[in-house]
């Protein structure tokens, strides 16, 4: 009898459409292969926080949990493992001219 593990990948990216190439490698290929060699299976579910932003705000302000948000909560509650993927942004410093109201950003 094969055991099935629930893996939830929470993506905090803001791009539309989301870029699956940015998800952790193990969440899509490595984990199922490793589990398969051990006689188990992995079912992966991806939760896009970008798609839930309004639902989360509504829940925080009115305590109303939408069906879409409840599905994400249930998936996280049933997960055997969770991978949180967050984007990394390059920081820049603003350079402002004292004689001008314009600023430019320089990547450090």
Closest CA to 13 of 25, 29, 1, 24: 24
What size, in residues, is the chain?
Answer: 108
Output the pTM of the full model. Answer: 0.68
Q: What is the pLDDT of residues 60-104, one digit of tens each?
A: 999 999 999 999 999 999 999 898 888 777 766 655 555 555 544
Q: What is the pLDDT of residues 4-36, one digit of tens each?
A: 889 998 888 777 665 555 555 444 556 777 777
Is residue 59 within 8 Å of 66, Cβ to Cβ? yes
Q: How far apart are CA 31 and CA 46, in angstroms?
A: 14
The pLDDT assigned to 94 comes to 58
In the numeric block, the tokens 């803001």 are attached to 14
The pLDDT assigned to 96 comes to 57
Q: Which domains does the chain have, with CATH numbers?
A: 3-107 (3.40.50.360)
The pLDDT assigned to 93 comes to 64
């Amino acid at each position: 009898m094969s055991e099935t593990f629930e893996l939830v990948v929470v993506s905090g990216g803001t791009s539309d459409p989301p870029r699956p190439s940015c998800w952790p490698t193990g969440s899509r290929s490595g984990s199922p292969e490793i589990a398969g060699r051990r006689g188990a299976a992995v079912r992966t579910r991806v939760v896009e926080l970008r798609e839930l932003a309004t639902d989360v705000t509504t829940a925080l302000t009115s305590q109303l949990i939408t069906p879409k948000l409840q599905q994400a909560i249930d998936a996280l509650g049933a997960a055997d493992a969770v991978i949180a993927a967050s984007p990394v942004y390059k920081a820049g410093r603003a350079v402002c001219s004292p004689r001008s109201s314009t600023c430019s950003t320089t990547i450090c």
